[in-house]
Structure 1
Amino acid sequence: MSLLSGARPTSTTDGAWPEDFGRALRAEWTKLRTAGETGRLLLLSLALTVAVGCGTAKAVKCPDAGCGLDAVKLALTGLTVGQAVIAVLAVLTVSGEYGTGMIRTTLMAVPNRIAVLAAKATILTAVVLVSGTAAVLTSLLAGRYMLPGNGFTEAHGYAPLTLADGPTLRAAVGSVLYLVLIALLGLGVATAVRDAASAVGIVLGLLYLFPVVMRVVSDPEWQRHLQQISPMTAGLAIQSTVHLHELPIGPWAGLGVLAMWAAVALLVGSLLLRRRDA
């Protein structure tokens, strides 16, 4: 039966991996760069990340020495908003094709479905790396110039934000990787559920529901456990540069938790992609 009729092909792994992956990579790059919403969503994510970071830097005051706030994390606050747009972009990378039926043409051109998913993940990672780097560097630059005006000065124990500082560099690099992992999480969920609205709801629920539940739970031990498994709370621990011993999970370990969420989503998505009809 023809693939265009919706039936599953006889084999989902026909063709050599390098050739299939190369074709899929070129096709995914063409689709992503020609899709009108891609550029708009990336710009929106950048604008929201920087705007929220600037707003936070402008609003928070540190009039006294030792106010105890993390200047780097304040400058990067916008990622909590910008990540939602990245998640939507990742979901549309897959669900948009299912919505239009274009996925059948994609799988006809490249029967190896895992190669198709790997190509989508590779292209998505590349564009989010670029846009995420721009967002993080711009946010830190804005914080460098705005925070001193609100009391975050050397006299109060705050050196100017700079990537020459090890913890700041780690927070910057980790924040970019955080956005990449959010994109891969969205890609995996969208591949598993196909429907755009459902996928967006699941990803945003995973990101923002845990913090809400933490506020409802009164037991400190349960709160700590929830913080340790929450994809957003654990992942954003990578931004912390002060009071690290007070964190429920370490910076890199927290990013590892988010990586596990993304890996599970991609694994489930890839298994369902191989088993189901287009």
Structure 2
Amino acid sequence: MRSAGLKYAGRAEWVKLRTDPGNGWLLLGVVALTLAVGAAVAMTARCDALGCGEDATKLSLTGVMVGQVVVAIVAVLMVGNEYSTGMMHTTVAAVPRRLTVLFSKAAVLSAVTLVTGVVGVLGSLLVGGLVQPGRGFTEAHGYAPMSPADPETLRAAVGSVLYLALIGLLGLGIALIVRNSATAIGIVLGLLFFFPILTQVITDPDWQRLLQQIAPMTAGLSVQTTVGVDRLPIGPWEGLGVVALWATGALAAGGAMLRSRDV
């Protein structure tokens, strides 16, 4: 019965997401922005000599930093729109188990974000692989042709897709906590971009390193690094784990709020 309820709730969440035309445009925006920004950076970066120190893979995936903003907006609106229109009352009336509502929203959001992320990330790597050799990223300068078969490139690609999904879950959890779209978007973007700004302001290297290790965006996007990994303040997968902890905490708090409130 419980699995049937989750299946029904998941189908309902998919219908709500699919029938709102704004969501389709936003998800298309994730792909477009990820590709456009990644392509722009790939076409402007240069490596003019051996050992120029640039990370070709990470440059191609720069668009993920912009795409995550739209992912967060989609996630927040998935909850915020229901609260603003009063539809959340209908949702919990149809699915009385509040955690089933939470899990179904998280599952549908993760699915669409993963698909969108795969398209954006693979497209960015394809563009980078075509453009960057003409910008000096050649074997003569120490750069092998970019290929998903390369373990570090594959890790950067898979990690970037997972990162986008985790940012979506973070946004979903925060939206459930505050129940207001504008406030939730502000909090998510603040968490993503405040820590990097604070790191630039603080001069103590130990505090800088600590902030880089706990900041969701700085730690999470370390998974894209393929050059100088040993110099990172936190390892690539460990950094992604930090984002997973932020998302898990937000979902746990959001789920608790969903259960304890009338709606």
TM over 0.5: yes
Give the one of 245, 252, 256 matched to 1:267.
Answer: 252
Deviation at 1:242, TM superposition (A): 1.4
Q: How many residues align?
A: 263
Give the one of 67, 76, 83 matched to 2:68.
Answer: 83
Aligned to 2:6: 21
Aligned to 1:197: 182
Summarize the alignment of residues 76-155 of structure 1 with structure 2, pairs less than 5 Å apart. 76-155=61-140
Give deviations 1:118-144, integer Å, cap 9, x for gaps: 000000010011000000000000000
Summarize the alignment of residues 24-63 of structure 1 with structure 2, pairs less than 5 Å apart. 24-63=9-48
Separation in 1 of the partners of 2:235 and 2:113?
Answer: 24
Separation in 1 of the partners of 2:134 and 2:199?
Answer: 33
Deviation at 1:17, TM superposition (A): 2.1
Aligned to 1:11: none
Aligned to 1:158: 143
- 2:207 alignment partner AA: W
* Structure 1 stretch displaced more, 21-30 or 129-138: 21-30
Aligned to 1:254: 239
- Hey, which bits of structure 1, 4+ residues long, moved more than 4 A? none
Deviation at 1:20, TM superposition (A): 2.1
Q: Could you say what secondary structure the match of 1:111 adopts?
A: coil
Aligned to 1:243: 228
Q: What percent of counterpart residues are identical? A: 58
RMSD of the TM alignment (CA)? Answer: 0.7
Deviation at 1:116, TM superposition (A): 0.6
Deviation at 1:111, TM superposition (A): 0.3
Summarize the alignment of residues 175-214 of structure 1 with structure 2, pairs less than 5 Å apart. 175-214=160-199
Higher radius of gyration, 1 or 2: 1
Name stretches of at least 5 consecutive residues in structure 1 with no aligned partner: 1-15
Give deviations 1:227-253, integer Å, cap 9, x for gaps: 000000000010011111100000000
Aligned to 2:209: 224
TM-score by length of 1: 0.94
TM-score by length of 2: 0.99
